[in-house]
C-alpha cells in the first residue's frame, strides 16, 4: 500500500500539471496586440442607408488608407446592428469591450443609443466617436472624457438651417417631432434660435420613431397656421413626412417645410420632384471639391454606387484621426488618454479639411447650408445641392462655455 | 371642432386601410387556420411590383392595380403548394413560424437590393393635382380614392363569401372540411385558391398605399402590427369583424390624436387587451 503512495502522488501532480497547462493555453496565451474598431449602427432599420453598411465601408477605407496597422499593431474592423434600441446597443457594447477587446466604437446613429454607449464607454475607459447621433447633449450636460461627437449636432442644425429660415421671415413654427432623445434635443435647440430672434413656436405634434402615416400630424400643423412646419425627425420618418406634406398641400397653401435634418440618401430616395427647393444643412457634400469627389467615387465603388452621407464621411474622418492619435501614443488601451491626445492634435483630412476638437468632445469644422436643386438643374444622379452659404467652423458649433458640460472649467 | 372633424376623416381613411389588410388575414385564417405572418411582407411585395412595373416596364399605376395582385397572388399559390400545405397536419404554430420566417426572408432580400430608404412612387394622374376642399381640411383626391376603392373591394369580398355558391363551399369547408370533401368538393384546391386570394388582397393594399408612403422593405412590418390587433379584436377569421373593427379602430385612433395624442399609438393595443379579457373570441368571433 505504502509502496504505491509516491506513484499516486506523482500521478496526481501530473494531473494537476496537465490541468494547469490546459488552463494556461486558454488564459495565459497572449493574443498579439491589435486595435479593434467596432462600428455600431442601424444595419436594417430606417437609418440604415444614411449610416449602416456604408459606415463599415468608410471605417475600413480609413484603416486601409492608414496602412492597415498602427504602431506595429494590426487594425481590425467589426460591426453590429443596434436596431435603434438603447438596450440592444449597450449590451452589444459591453460584450465588445469585455470579450472582443474592442478599443473604440464609431458611428452609432440614434441619439438614445449613443447616450447609452457613451456612458458604458466611460465606465470601461474606452473611446466613442459619434458620427451618426444628433443630440447636442453628448457634448452638453451628458458629455464624457471618452466621447467625441464628430459630424454634426442638433445645435449646429438649429444654428444653420433654423437661422437661415428665421432670417428669411419664418417667425412662427410648428414642430413634427420624433419622440426620443434626438427629436427632443433638435426641437429644443431650434426653439432657442427661433425665440432669440423674436419668433414664436405655436405647437408640436410628436410621433414615435419609424412611423408611417403622418397625415394627422400634418393636419394639426396646417391648423396651427404657423408659417414654418419644422421636421425634427430623421431618415425614413423625414422622407415620409415630406412626401405626405406635399400630398396634403402644406407647401402649396403657403406654409414652408423646414427639414432640419436631411441626408443626401433621403433626397435620393425622395427624388428631386418632391424634394426640390428644400433648405438643409450638411457638414459634408461629396461634390464640394476635387478631394471630396475623389474620395466619394472610391466609396461609391465599394458601396453599390451610393454616394457617402455626411455620417459615413464622418466615420472615415474620425477613424483616421483616432489612428493618428494611437500612433503617437503607441497604445490604444487608455481611452481617456487617446481622446485627450485626439483633442490636442489638430484634425486634417481630405473630407472635412482642417479642424479642431473642443474640450467637451465637440469636433469643429464648417457647416454648409444647401438648397436642393430642381430636376432641371441636376445634371446627374446624386447632383442634388447648391450652396447657399458656409458657416465657418468657429460659428458652426456651440461655444464650449455655453454647453453646460461639466468638463469645461469656467 | 375642425381639428376633430379632420382627424375623423383621417381616421376613416386609415381605418379603411386597416380593414383591407385585415380582410386578407381573416379570410386566410378562416379557411386555413394559418396566422399569416407573411401578410406584411406580401403587402410590401405588392407595392414593389407596382414600382417595378413602372420603373422597368413603364407600366403605370392603373394597370398595376390589377397586375400586381395577380402576380403576388400567384406567388402566394406557389408558397401554399410548396410550403404551407406540408404543415396543415401539425399544430398551427408551425405555419405561424413558417410564415414569420418567410416574411423575414422576403424583407431581408429587398433590404439587400433596395436599401432601407426605398423608392418613391408618384401619385397617378389624374388624381395627383386634385384635392377636395371640405371646409375644415384639404383632402387629397388620392386618399379619397384609396378609401372608396377599398370599400368596393371588401364589399365584393363579402358578397362572394356570403352570397355565392363558391362562398357557401368556402364557409362550409371552414366548418367541416371532411364533410365538404365527401360531397365531392376539392377542398385542398379551394384552400390554395383562398390563400392566393388573401395574398392578392394584401398586394392590392400595397399598390394602393404605394403613392402614400415610401415604397420600402420595412413598410409592411411597420403596419402589420396594428392590423394583427384589428384581427384579434374583430375575431379571428371573421370577415365582417375585420371590416368593422378596421374602420372603428381608425376612428378611435383619430379621435385619440385630438383628445390625448400621447395615447394614440397605444390605444389600439389597450382596446385589444380589453376585448380579450371580456370576449376572448373577439367582437365578431365565435367562441370555439
> In the predicted model, is pLDDT for residue A206 greater than 70?
yes
Asked whether residue A28 is domain-assigned, the answer is: no
Asked whether residue A244 is domain-assigned, the answer is: yes
User: Are the beta carbons of B2 and A244 separated by less than 8 Å?
Assistant: no
Query: Are residues A96 and A159 both part of a single domain?
Result: no
User: Are the beta carbons of B6 and A208 separated by less than 8 Å?
Assistant: no
> In the predicted model, is pLDDT for residue A202 greater than 50?
yes
Q: Are A185 and A147 in contact (CB under 8 A)?
A: no
Radius of gyration of chain A (CA): 24
User: Are the beta carbons of B115 and A244 separated by less than 8 Å?
Assistant: no
Nearest CA in chain B to A44: B116
In chain A, the largest separation of any two C-alpha atoms, in whole Å, equals 105
**Main-chain phi, psi angles of A141, to 5 degrees:** -55, -30
Residue B281 C-alpha cell reads as 373570441
* Pairing mode, strands A279-282 and A367-372: antiparallel
Q: Flag whether residue A235 sits within 8 Å of chain B, measured between CB atoms.
A: yes
Q: What angle do the packed helices A290-302 and A52-66 form, to 10 degrees?
A: 110
Query: Are residues A276 and A387 both part of a single domain?
Result: yes
Q: What percent of chain B has pLDDT over 90?
A: 42
DSSP letter for A306, please: P
- CA A12/CA A14 separation, integer angstroms: 5
pLDDT in tens, B92-143: 889 899 999 999 999 999 988 888 888 889 888 888 878 888 878 888 899 9
pLDDT at A29: 52
Nearest CA in chain B to A306: B115
| Full DSSP string of A231-268 | EE--HHHHHHHHHHHHHTTTTTTT-EEEESS--HHHHH
- The residues, ordered by sequence, that sit 6+ positions from A256 with a Cβ below 8 Å of its Cβ are A165, A170, A227, A228, A229
- CA A311/CA A297 separation, integer angstroms: 16
User: Are the beta carbons of B117 and A269 separated by less than 8 Å?
Assistant: yes
Asked whether residue A27 is domain-assigned, the answer is: no
Nearest to B123 by CA among B213, B16, B9: B213
Q: Which residues of A touch B142 (CB under 8 A)?
A: 247
Domains observed in chain B? 2-278 (1.10.3470)
Query: Are residues A59 and A123 both part of a single domain?
Result: yes
pLDDT at B125: 82
pLDDT at A11: 59
Residue B273 C-alpha cell reads as 387587451
Q: Are A306 and B115 in contact (CB under 8 A)?
A: yes
pLDDT at A331: 92
> In the predicted model, is pLDDT for residue A2 greater than 50?
no
Distance, in angstroms, between B188 CA and closest chain A CA?
A: 37
- Name the least confident of A143-152, B41-50, B124-133, B198-207: B124-133
> In the predicted model, is pLDDT for residue A9 greater than 80?
no
pLDDT at B181: 87
Domain count, chain A: 2
Q: Which residues of A touch B14 (CB under 8 A)?
A: 213, 215
Query: Are residues A140 and A197 both part of a single domain?
Result: no
Asked whether residue A377 is domain-assigned, the answer is: yes
pLDDT at A8: 53
> In the predicted model, is pLDDT for residue B91 greater than 70?
yes
User: Mutating which of B117, B125, B138, B263 best tests the A interface, going by the most A Cβ atoms within 10 A?
Assistant: B117
Query: Are residues A120 and A177 both part of a single domain?
Result: no
Q: What's the CATH code of the domain at A50?
A: 3.40.50.2300
Asked whether residue A96 is domain-assigned, the answer is: yes
- CA B23/CA B35 separation, integer angstroms: 13
> In the predicted model, is pLDDT for residue A24 greater than 70?
no
pLDDT in tens, B161-173: 888 988 888 888 8
pLDDT in tens, B57-81: 999 999 999 999 999 999 999 999 9
- The residues, ordered by sequence, that sit 6+ positions from B167 with a Cβ below 8 Å of its Cβ are B159, B160, B161
Query: Are residues A261 and A387 both part of a single domain?
Result: yes
Asked whether residue A100 is domain-assigned, the answer is: yes
Which residues are A201's β-sheet partners?
A173
pLDDT at A31: 66
Secondary structure class of A144 (helix, strand, coil): coil
For A287, left (φ over 0), alpha (ψ -120 to 50), or beta? Answer: alpha
User: Are the beta carbons of A223 and B213 separated by less than 8 Å?
Assistant: no
The number of C-beta contacts closer than 8 angstroms across A and B is 102
pLDDT at A323: 96
User: Are the beta carbons of A47 and B120 separated by less than 8 Å?
Assistant: no
Q: Flag whether residue B39 sits within 8 Å of chain A, measured between CB atoms.
A: no
Nearest CA in chain A to B9: A216
- CA B152/CA B133 separation, integer angstroms: 23
- CA A37/CA A131 separation, integer angstroms: 14
> Looking at A48-192, which runs of residues are DSSP E strands?
69-70, 73-81, 104-107, 127-130, 147-149, 172-178
Which residues are A127's β-sheet partners?
A104
Nearest CA in chain B to A266: B117
Q: Which residues of A touch B213 (CB under 8 A)?
A: 212-213, 240, 243-244
- CA B10/CA B132 separation, integer angstroms: 13
Q: Which residues of B touch A52 (CB under 8 A)?
A: 116
Domain that residue A77 falls in: 35-152+288-365
Q: Flag whether residue A265 sits within 8 Å of chain B, measured between CB atoms.
A: yes
Query: Are residues A143 and A169 both part of a single domain?
Result: no
Q: Flag whether residue B137 sits within 8 Å of chain A, measured between CB atoms.
A: yes
Q: Are B47 and B206 in contact (CB under 8 A)?
A: yes
Q: What is the pTM of this model?
A: 0.86
Q: Flag whether residue B96 sits within 8 Å of chain A, measured between CB atoms.
A: no
> In the predicted model, is pLDDT for residue A14 greater than 90?
no
Which residues are A203's β-sheet partners?
A174
User: Are the beta carbons of A243 and B120 separated by less than 8 Å?
Assistant: yes
Query: Are residues A384 and A332 both part of a single domain?
Result: no
Mean pLDDT taken over chain A: 90
Secondary structure class of A145 (helix, strand, coil): coil
Query: Are residues A385 and A272 both part of a single domain?
Result: yes
- CA B96/CA B76 separation, integer angstroms: 15
> In the predicted model, is pLDDT for residue B281 greater than 90?
no
Query: Are residues A97 and A238 both part of a single domain?
Result: no
The interface pTM score, or ipTM, of the predicted complex is: 0.85
- Name the least confident of A150-159, B4-13, B94-103: B4-13
- The residues, ordered by sequence, that sit 6+ positions from B166 with a Cβ below 8 Å of its Cβ are B160
pLDDT in tens, A54-63: 999 999 999 9
**Main-chain phi, psi angles of B175, to 5 degrees:** -70, -50
Kindly state the average pLDDT of the residues A23-50.
Answer: 79
pLDDT at B287: 63
Q: Flag whether residue B231 sits within 8 Å of chain A, measured between CB atoms.
A: no
- A189: pLDDT confidence band, cut at 50, 70 and 90? very high
Distance, in angstroms, between A181 CA and closest chain B CA?
A: 16
Nearest to B286 by CA among B248, B220, B237: B237
Amino acid at each position: 500500500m505504502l509502496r504505491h503512495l509516491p506513484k499516486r502522488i506523482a500521478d496526481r501532480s501530473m494531473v494537476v500539471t496537465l490541468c494547469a497547462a490546459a488552463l494556461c493555453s486558454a488564459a495565459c496565451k497572449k493574443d498579439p496586440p491589435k486595435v479593434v474598431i467596432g462600428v455600431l449602427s442601424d444595419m436594417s432599420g430606417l437609418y440604415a442607408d444614411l449610416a449602416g453598411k456604408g459606415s463599415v465601408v468608410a471605417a475600413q477605407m480609413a484603416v486601409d488608407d492608414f496602412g492597415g496597422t498602427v504602431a506595429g499593431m494590426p487594425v481590425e474592423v467589426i460591426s453590429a446592428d443596434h436596431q435603434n434600441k438603447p438596450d440592444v446597443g449597450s449590451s452589444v457594447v459591453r460584450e465588445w469591450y469585455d470579450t472582443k477587446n474592442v478599443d473604440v466604437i464609431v458611428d452609432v446613429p440614434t441619439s438614445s443609443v449613443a447616450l447609452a454607449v457613451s456612458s458604458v464607454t466611460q465606465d470601461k475607459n474606452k473611446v466613442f466617436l459619434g458620427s451618426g447621433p444628433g443630440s447636442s447633449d453628448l457634448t452638453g450636460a451628458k458629455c464624457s472624457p471618452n466621447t467625441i461627437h464628430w459630424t454634426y449636432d442638433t445645435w449646429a442644425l438649429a444654428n444653420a438651417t433654423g437661422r437661415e429660415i428665421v432670417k428669411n421671415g419664418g417667425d412662427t413654427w410648428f414642430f413634427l417631432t420624433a419622440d426620443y432623445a434626438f427629436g427632443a434635443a433638435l426641437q429644443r435647440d431650434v426653439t432657442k434660435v427661433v425665440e432669440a430672434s423674436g419668433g414664436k413656436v405655436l405647437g408640436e405634434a410628436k410621433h414615435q420613431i419609424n412611423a408611417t402615416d403622418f397625415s394627422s400630424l400634418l393636419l394639426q400643423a396646417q391648423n396651427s397656421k404657423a408659417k414654418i412646419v419644422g421636421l425634427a425627425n430623421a431618415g425614413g420618418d423625414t422622407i415620409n413626412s415630406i412626401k405626405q406634406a406635399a400630398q396634403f398641400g402644406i407647401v402649396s397653401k403657403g406654409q414652408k417645410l423646414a427639414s432640419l435634418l436631411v441626408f443626401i440618401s433621403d433626397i435620393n430616395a425622395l427624388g428631386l420632384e418632391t424634394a426640390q427647393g428644400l433648405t438643409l444643412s450638411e457638414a459634408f457634400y461629396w461634390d464640394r471639391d476635387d478631394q471630396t469627389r475623389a474620395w466619394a467615387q472610391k466609396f461609391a465603388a465599394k458601396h453599390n454606387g451610393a454616394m457617402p452621407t455626411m455620417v459615413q464621411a464622418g466615420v472615415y474622418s474620425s477613424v483616421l484621426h483616432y489612428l493618428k492619435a494611437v500612433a503617437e501614443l503607441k497604445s490604444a488601451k487608455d481611452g481617456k488618454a487617446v481622446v485627450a491626445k485626439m483633442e490636442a492634435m489638430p484634425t486634417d483630412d481630405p473630407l472635412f479639411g482642417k479642424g479642431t476638437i473642443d474640450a467637451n468632445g465637440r469636433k469643429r469644422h464648417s457647416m454648409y447650408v444647401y438648397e436642393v436643386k430642381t430636376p432641371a438643374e441636376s445634371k446627374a444622379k446624386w447632383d442634388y445641392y447648391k450652396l447657399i452659404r458656409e458657416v465657418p467652423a468657429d460659428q458652426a458649433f456651440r461655444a464650449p462655455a455655453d454647453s453646460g458640460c461639466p468638463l469645461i472649467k469656467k | 371642432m375642425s381639428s376633430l372633424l379632420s382627424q375623423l376623416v383621417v381616421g376613416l381613411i386609415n381605418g379603411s386601410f386597416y380593414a383591407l389588410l385585415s380582410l386578407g388575414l381573416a379570410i386566410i385564417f378562416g379557411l386555413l387556420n394559418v396566422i399569416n405572418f407573411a401578410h406584411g411582407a406580401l403587402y410590401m411585395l405588392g407595392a414593389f411590383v407596382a414600382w417595378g412595373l413602372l420603373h422597368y416596364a413603364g407600366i403605370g399605376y392603373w394597370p398595376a392595380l390589377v397586375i400586381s395582385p395577380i402576380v403576388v397572388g400567384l406567388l402566394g399559390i406557389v408558397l401554399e403548394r410548396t410550403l404551407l400545405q406540408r404543415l396543415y397536419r401539425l399544430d398551427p404554430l408551425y405555419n405561424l413560424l413558417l410564415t414569420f420566417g418567410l416574411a423575414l426572408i422576403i424583407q431581408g432580400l429587398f433590404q439587400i437590393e433596395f436599401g432601407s430608404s426605398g423608392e418613391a412612387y408618384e401619385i397617378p394622374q389624374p388624381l395627383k393635382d386634385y384635392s377636395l376642399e371640405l371646409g375644415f381640411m384639404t383632402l387629397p383626391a388620392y386618399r379619397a380614392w384609396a378609401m372608396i376603392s377599398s370599400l368596393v373591394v371588401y364589399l365584393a369580398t363579402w358578397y362572394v363569401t356570403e352570397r355565392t355558391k363558391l362562398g357557401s363551399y368556402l364557409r362550409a369547408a371552414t366548418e367541416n372540411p371532411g364533410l365538404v370533401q365527401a360531397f365531392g368538393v376539392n377542398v385542398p384546391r379551394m384552400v390554395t385558391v383562398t390563400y392566393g386570394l388573401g395574398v392578392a388582397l394584401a398586394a392590392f393594399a400595397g399598390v394602393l398605399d404605394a403613392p402614400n408612403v415610401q415604397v420600402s422593405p420595412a413598410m409592411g412590418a411597420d403596419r402589420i402590427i396594428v392590423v394583427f390587433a384589428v384581427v384579434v379584436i374583430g375575431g379571428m377569421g371573421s370577415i365582417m369583424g375585420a371590416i368593422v373593427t378596421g374602420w372603428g379602430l381608425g376612428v378611435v385612433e383619430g379621435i385619440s390624436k385630438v383628445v390625448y395624442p400621447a395615447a394614440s399609438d397605444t390605444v389600439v393595443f389597450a382596446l385589444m387587451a380589453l376585448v380579450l379579457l371580456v370576449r376572448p373570441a373577439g367582437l365578431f368571433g365565435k367562441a370555439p
